[in-house]
């Protein structure tokens, strides 16, 4: 492989243009990656905290790995409460002016952010893929376009956000509501959909007139850092958005426990969500928690298997199974179980696990070595509990290029023969692993699907419209997809029940969360 590097220093930035060509279909293209600081000696991306529209070098760093090759590619600030306090003060100062801007002005700025982000879509997609391990095609066609949409969606939604009013004749009283931004918001984003979910929180936060202190995952911080440059180019006022990078135990805890931050929005694990609840309880903070899932897919005997199996494969293994909405438990009616299993395993084996830069790859690497070990441990537990591996890890060969031999890859794995109370069927794995079991009756599968501590989503496959509606109403989850998966209307509420979280996110739900409602009563007969 040949790699030529050209350095172009301008406007305080360094543009690094890679001309890469080889015969392995790894990547034959020219792309430009603009990063504010770059270590030429080590070719590592050096990330800095972004506070009050300024970059601040870190005292200590965390190594961030390219999971497809298992090598360090970025250095992330190991920040602490001191940097969080600095960011909070900047956000607090900015709030006094930002909350007074008109919705039209905020809308224009969000649209400008979206336009700039879209103009750099390929650059962001490449960075997201390298940071997270997902195929570039997934980031290019999914993650980054959705981030662009998030800013555009809330830029326009805020223009149509309505207050309520009533008139009481008996008292000659007019009642009306107004909504107001609350202050500095703490935003904590996950590593599985870094830019997608960070933008999903930042956009409604600033659209409603709040300011924020953000903490991206220490595993996937690069695109959040790149977003800071977009915010500067768009002309966002200083202090409105601040990025503090580091560990959850330091930065996250400092944000959550800060007495001046009244709102916390978090997407991540249920275990961390519980910690946030405890840490924020003293200050009665307003919380939005989108947590874990152990989602079920139900396939009835009348389902069209030819149509539903591709959808089910996607629901189980998209983004390497690293989506809270992925299906981890499949219940298949006994009449079609054998036929379904044969076709499902065949379709799963057709997925191409490999280098995220290759157009042929449908599945990339997991995000970290620790996460890979966790996913493998659940498969090992399944074997110990008399489960049978139908395809994937331990039974099929993982064919990787020499470049990826140290990457964190695993084959999509299908398991059968496990009891419902198995830890593999009860705990969130968050990887490309699914269990398949049979069921006999509608009531049985509803009860078994609900017999879990999570309640994020489910999928139902049947050609019986009445059955689809009946089962959807009986499932104790926040979202049910019938004969489809992850068709998202951003106007509709999203969130979970039980240990899958608190609150909902959508057009109105998000705008409601980031504002405080006030009722005014005026007696007009005076």
Q: How many CA atoms lie within 13 A of 160 on its CB side?
A: 8
CA distance 298 to 121: 36
367: tokens are 């995000």
Structure confidence by residue, pLDDT tens digits, 273-299:
999 999 999 999 999 999 999 999 999
Average pLDDT over residues 224-242: 99
Residue 469 to residue 485: CA distance in whole angstroms? 16
The residues annotated with a catalytic role in the active site are 290, 324
Residue 299 DSSP one-character state: E
Rounded-to-integer distance, Cα 483 and Cα 478, Å: 17
Q: 471 falls in which pLDDT band (50, 70, 90)?
A: very high
- Residue 208 or residue 17, greater confidence: 208
Output the pLDDT for position 372.
Answer: 99
Instruction: Give pLDDT, residue 526.
Output: 83
Give residue 406's pLDDT.
98
pLDDT value for 3: 39
Containing H/E element for 144? helix 144-157
pLDDT(27) > 60:
no
Which pLDDT score is estimated for 202?
A: 99
Q: Which residues contact 198 (CB under 8 A, 6 or more apart)?
A: 147, 187, 189, 214, 216, 223, 224, 227
DSSP state of 193: S
Are 108 and 17 spatial neighbours (Cβ–Cβ below 8 Å)?
A: no
Q: Do 295-497 and 78-290 fall under one CATH topology? A: no
And the tokens for 316? 């189980």
Residue 457's DSSP bridge partners are 479
CA distance 518 to 333: 51
CATH of domain 295-497: 3.40.309.10
Collapse the DSSP code of 379 into the 3-class scheme (helix H, G, I; strand E, B; otherwise coil) and give the result. helix
CATH architecture of the region 78-290: 3-Layer(aba) Sandwich (3.40)
Say what percent of the chain tops pLDDT 90: 91
pLDDT tens-digit readout, 163-213: 999 999 999 999 999 999 999 999 999 999 999 999 999 999 999 999 999
Mean pLDDT of 405-428: 99
Mean pLDDT (whole number) for 310-337: 99
pLDDT band at 137 (very low <50, low <70, confident <90, very high): very high
Could you list the beta-strand ranges (E) of 388-514: 388-391, 413-416, 433-439, 454-455, 457-461, 479-482, 497-498, 501-502
Token pair belonging to 62: 């965390």
Mean pLDDT (the chain, rounded): 93
DSSP per residue over 196-234, as a string? HHHHHHHHHHHHTT-EEEEE--TTS-HHHHHHHHHHHHH
- Residue 386 phi, psi (nearest 5): 70, 20
Percent over 70 (pLDDT), the chain: 92
Q: For residue 446, count other CB atoms closer than 10 A to its CB.
A: 21
The model's pLDDT over 364-402, given as tens digits with 9 standing for 90+, comes to 999 999 999 999 999 999 999 999 999 999 999 999 999
Widest CA span in the chain: 85
pLDDT for residue 255 is more than 80: yes
* Element holding 174 (H helix, E strand): strand 173-181
Which pLDDT value is given to residue 525? 87
Q: Confidence class of residue 521 from pLDDT cuts 50, 70 and 90?
A: very high
Q: Around Cβ 162, how many Cβ atoms within 10 Å? A: 8
Kindly write down the DSSP assignment for every residue of 49-113, as one continuous string: EEETTEEE--SSEEEEEETTTTEEEEEEE---HHHHHHHHHHHHHHHHHHTTS-HHHHHHHHHHH
State the Cα–Cα distance between residues 490 and 505, nearest whole angstrom.
Answer: 9
Is pLDDT above 60 for 33?
no
Q: Is the dihedral of CA 393, 318, 367, 328 positive or negative?
A: negative
Q: Where are the domains of the chain?
A: 78-290, 295-497
Neighbours of 351 (CB within 10 A): 19
pLDDT confidence of 43, banded at 50, 70, 90? confident
CB 246 within 8 A of CB 78: yes
pLDDT value at position 345? Answer: 99
């Amino acid at each position: 492989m040949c790699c030529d590097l050209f350095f172009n220093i301008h406007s305080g930035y360094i543009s690094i243009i890679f001309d890469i060509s080889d015969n392995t279909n790894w990547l034959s293209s020219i792309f430009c990656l603009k990063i504010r600081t770059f270590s030429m000696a080590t070719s590592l991306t050096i990330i800095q905290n972004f506070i009050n529209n300024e970059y601040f070098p870190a005292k200590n760093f965390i190594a961030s790995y390219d999971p497809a090759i298992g090598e360090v590619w970025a250095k992330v600030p190991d920040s602490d409460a001191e940097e969080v306090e600095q960011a909070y003060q900047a956000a607090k100062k900015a709030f006094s002016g930002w909350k007074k801007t008109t919705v039209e002005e905020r809308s224009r700025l969000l649209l400008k952010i979206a336009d700039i982000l879209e103009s750099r879509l390929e650059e962001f997609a490449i960075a997201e893929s390298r940071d997270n391990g997902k195929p570039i095609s997934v980031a290019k066609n999914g993650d980054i376009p959705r981030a662009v949409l998030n800013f555009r969606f809330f830029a326009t939604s805020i223009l149509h956000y309505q207050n309520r009013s009533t008139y009481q004749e008996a008292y000659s009283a007019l009642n009306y509501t107004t909504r107001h931004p609350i202050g500095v918001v703490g935003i904590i984003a996950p590593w599985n959909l870094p830019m997608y979910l960070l933008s999903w929180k930042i956009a409604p936060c600033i659209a409603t007139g709040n300011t924020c202190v953000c903490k991206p995952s220490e595993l996937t911080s690069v695109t959040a850092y790149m977003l800071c440059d977009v915010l500067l180019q768009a002309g966002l006022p200083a202090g409105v958005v601040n990025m503090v990078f580091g560990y959850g135990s330091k930065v996250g805890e400092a944000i959550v426990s800060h007495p001046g931050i009244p709102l916390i929005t978090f997407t991540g694990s249920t275990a961390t969500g519980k910690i946030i609840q405890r840490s924020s309880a003293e200050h009665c903070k307003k919380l939005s928690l989108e947590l874990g899932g152990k989602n079920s897919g139900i396939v009835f005997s009348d389902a069209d298997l030819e149509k539903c199996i591709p959808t089910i494969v996607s629901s189980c293994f998209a983004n390497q199974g690293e989506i809270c909405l992925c299906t981890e438990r499949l219940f298949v009616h006994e009449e079609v179980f054998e036929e379904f299993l044969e076709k499902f395993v065949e379709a799963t084996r057709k997925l191409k696990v490999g280098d995220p830069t290759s157009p042929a790859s449908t599945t990339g690497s997991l995000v970290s070595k620790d996460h890979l070990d966790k996913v493998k441990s659940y498969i090992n537990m399944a074997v110990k509990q008399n489960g049978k591996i139908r395809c994937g890890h331990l039974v099929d060969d993982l064919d990787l290029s020499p470049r990826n031999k140290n990457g964190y890859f695993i084959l999509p794995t299908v398991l059968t023969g496990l009891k419902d109370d198995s830890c593999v069927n009860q705990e969130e794995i968050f990887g490309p692993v699914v269990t398949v079991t049979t069921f006999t009756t509608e009531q049985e599968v509803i009860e078994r699907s609900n017999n879990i501590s999570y309640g994020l989503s489910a999928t139902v496959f049947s050609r019986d419209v009445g059955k689809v509606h009946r089962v959807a109403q009986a499932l104790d989850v926040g979202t049910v997809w019938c004969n489809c998966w992850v068709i998202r209307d951003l106007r509709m509420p999203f969130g979970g029940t039980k240990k899958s979280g608190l609150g909902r996110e959508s057009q109105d739900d998000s705008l409601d969360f980031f504002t405080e409602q006030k009722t005014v009563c005026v007696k007009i007969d005076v």
